[in-house]
């Protein structure tokens, strides 16, 4: 048997999947979690050594359990948390903790320049000037970490997203490369050229020679070399940022196709094909992928907190002992009249689409003496669905063709959340049999890169598990109105 290895490097851990290269059947998977570092309020960091260790442990585990010969791996696909920013030397040694996409330390910097530079950022990159993206994190590292500044002066510095760091380590420093779905999230890549933009590099003070080469998404990214847990010579053939990988893995390759991934945060992508659509409603224009000279674009809606809100109920409020218990607790609410004024605003790290308010804070409001944990659990799930519905509403305004929403990620297994999403968004929700679509996307991307599978054939690998049709009840329209009014009153 021949294999494909997919490495899904996420915000809280790394999941590695081993697939049959012929049938694309998942043979085994392993997730290895690592620590989250919170040095100050609003700061979120990762240790790059922890990330690398999680890759090694998860890959080693699936190879050990399946007894697969690693020399039979035909290709490696990598997908990753996107905007998280890494600084390391040419030999791969970390020079600082990575600054995670959720980190808000550059909010004041963005506020300072937003009035003068936000429009230019949006016109060139499709992104607002926001701490979410990598450019201001790179600027902060250069200004505030002496080891990073010294390495830059000595021409010994690499600045990149996580995909590039992993390729650099897997190839023992032979390759320093990325691709458009990741590069487009740095706020340094021009969406029309799919190359670094000189005027943006100058504004943020990031030299081009500190950044990786941008290649197409399914191509030769190098081969493994001097890697302790994999033999030399395995080709790395596919790289996509996690959300674009899910779009690809969900076979959302037609114009108007939509996917929503529920992870730590939650993200919707709408395939706009070869047309670069400029949003008028707060959505992000972004690269979906590039292949054989074609540039494919998407509109994106972002909610910084989704599954993390359920984790907060578990770890901070201790309402539940495990995340899946939130469904049982929420199901205790049978009288929706008790929920009419209860809102869970999951803005622990600010609001993303469509408001882009970095300083917003989370809140639970509308409580009365008879409010119990069940109401809070349901309000949490409603808050996730309502956050994402703001992006769906923007899609409807910006683009005429919207197909059903395909869902994936851990929280997509929550039936109550999926039905709430259908009800609030008034869109049919389609859940596939395989919800590991992020890793699946880069696995099949290996075969696309080899020319063995066409992009149009991806639909053959997608299987429906359950459909959630939207219900019509005044409760949901009234709750949406309360949600909108509350956000305007508290944050805008």
Domains of the chain: which residue ranges? 3-234, 244-492
pLDDT above 80: residue 363? yes
Among residues 138, 224, 155, 245, the alpha carbon closest in space to that of 189 is found at 138
pLDDT above 80: residue 421? yes
Tokens at 47, concatenated: 């240790």
Which residues lie below 8 Å from residue 265, measured CB to CB, with a gap of 6+?
11, 102, 302, 303, 304, 305, 306, 307, 308, 352
- Residue 17 to residue 4: CA distance in whole angstroms: 8
Query: Within 10 Å of residue 16's Cβ, how many Cβ atoms?
Result: 26
pLDDT above 90: residue 49? yes
Instruction: Give the N- to C-terminal CA distance of the chain in Å, as an integer.
Output: 57
Note the pLDDT of residue 264: 83
Q: Exposure string (b/e) for 288-322, b if CB count within 10 Å is 16 or more?
A: bbbbeeebbbbbbbbbbbbbbbbbbbbeeeebbee
pTM of the predicted protein model = 0.89
Could you tell me the sign of the dihedral formed by the alpha carbons of 18, 23, 24, 28, in that order? negative
- In whole angstroms, how far apart are CA 451 and each of 24, 146, 159, 253? 15, 46, 31, 17
Look over the chain and give the mean of its residue pLDDT values, rounded to a whole number.
Answer: 94
Q: Which residues pair with 240 in a beta bridge?
A: 79
Q: Which residues pair with 15 in a beta bridge?
A: 8, 31
What's the mean pLDDT in 327-335? Answer: 94
Which residues lie below 8 Å from residue 35, measured CB to CB, with a gap of 6+?
47, 50
Tokens at 191, concatenated: 């969406």
| Residue 17: pLDDT band with limits 50, 70, 90 | very high
Note the pLDDT of residue 434: 82
Structurally, at CATH architecture level, domain 3-234 sits in: 2-Layer Sandwich (3.30)
- Residue 235 to residue 76: CA distance in whole angstroms: 6
CB 219 within 8 A of CB 449: yes
Helical (H) or strand (E) element with 20: strand 13-20
Lowest average pLDDT, out of 150-159, 316-325, 480-489, goes to: 316-325
Note the pLDDT of residue 175: 96
3-state secondary structure of 218: strand
Alpha helices in 130-259 (DSSP H): 134-144, 146-153, 162-170, 180-183, 198-204, 242-249
What's the mean pLDDT in 326-336? Answer: 94
Could you tell me the sign of the dihedral formed by the alpha carbons of 279, 134, 11, 288, in that order? positive
pLDDT above 90: residue 192? yes
Q: Percentage of the chain surpassing pLDDT 70?
A: 100
Helices 146-153 and 134-144: crossing angle, nearest 10°?
90
CATH T-level assignment (fold) for domain 244-492: Nucleotidyltransferase; domain 5 (3.30.420)
- Residue 265 to residue 320: CA distance in whole angstroms: 20
- Residue 492 to residue 483: CA distance in whole angstroms: 13
Among residues 93, 238, 92, 94, the alpha carbon closest in space to that of 172 is found at 92
Note the pLDDT of residue 86: 98
pLDDT above 90: residue 233? yes
What's the mean pLDDT in 115-138? Answer: 92
CB 207 within 8 A of CB 198: no
Note the pLDDT of residue 410: 85
């Amino acid at each position: 048997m021949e294999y494909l290895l997919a490495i899904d490097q996420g915000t809280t851990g790394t999941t590695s999947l081993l697939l049959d290269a012929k049938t694309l059947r998942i043979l085994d998977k392993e997730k290895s979690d690592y620590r989250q570092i919170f040095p100050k309020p609003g700061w979120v960091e990762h240790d790059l050594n922890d990330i690398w260790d999680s890759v090694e442990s998860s890959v080693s585990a699936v190879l050990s359990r399946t007894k697969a010969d690693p020399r039979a791996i035909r290709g490696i696909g990598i997908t990753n948390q996107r905007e998280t920013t890494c600084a390391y030397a040419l030999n791969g040694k970390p020079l600082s903790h990575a600054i995670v996409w959720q980190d808000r330390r550059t909010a004041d910097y963005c506020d300072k320049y937003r009035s003068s530079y936000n429009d230019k950022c949006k016109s060139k990159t499709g992104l607002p000037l926001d701490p979410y993206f990598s450019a201001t994190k790179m600027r902060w590292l250069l200004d505030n970490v002496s080891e990073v500044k010294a390495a830059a002066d000595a021409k010994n510095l690499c600045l990149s997203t996580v995909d590039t760091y992993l390729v650099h380590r897997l190839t023992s420093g032979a390759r320093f490369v990325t691709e458009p779905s990741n590069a487009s999230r740095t706020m340094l890549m021009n969406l029309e050229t799919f190359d670094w933009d000189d005027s943006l590099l100058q504004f943020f003070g990031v030299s081009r020679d500190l950044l990786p080469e941008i290649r197409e998404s399914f191509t030769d990214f190098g081969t493994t070399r001097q890697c302790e847990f994999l033999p030399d010579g395995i080709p790395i053939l596919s790289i996509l940022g996690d959300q674009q990988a899910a779009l690809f893995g969900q076979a959302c390759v037609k114009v108007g196709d939509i996917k929503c991934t529920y992870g730590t945060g939650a993200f919707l992508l709408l395939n706009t094909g070869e047309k670069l659509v400029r949003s008028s409603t707060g959505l992000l224009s972004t690269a979906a992928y590039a292949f054989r000279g074609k540039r494919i674009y998407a509109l994106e809606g972002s909610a910084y907190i989704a599954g993390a809100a359920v984790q907060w109920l578990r770890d901070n409020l201790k309402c539940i002992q495990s995340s899946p218990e939130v469904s049982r607790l929420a199901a205790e609410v049978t009288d929706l009249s008790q929920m009419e004024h209860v809102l869970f605003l999951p803005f622990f790290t600010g609001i993303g689409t469509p408001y882009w308010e970095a300083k917003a804070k989370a809140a639970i409001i509308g409580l009365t003496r008879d409010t119990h944990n069940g109401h809070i659990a349901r309000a949490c799930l409603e808050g996730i669905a309502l956050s994402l519905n703001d992006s769906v509403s923007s899609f409807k305004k910006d683009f005429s063709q919207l197909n059903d929403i395909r869902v994936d990620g851990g929280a997509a297994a929550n039936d109550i959340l999926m039905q709430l999403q259908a009800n609030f968004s008034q869109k049919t929700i389609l859940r596939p049999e395989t919800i590991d679509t992020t890793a699946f996307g880069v696995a099949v991307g290996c075969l696309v890169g080899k020319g063995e599978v066409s992009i149009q054939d991806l639909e053959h690998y997608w299987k429906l598990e359950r459909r959630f049709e939207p219900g019509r009840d005044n409760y949901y329209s009234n709750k949406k109105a309360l949600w909108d009014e509350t956000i305007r009153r508290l944050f805008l």
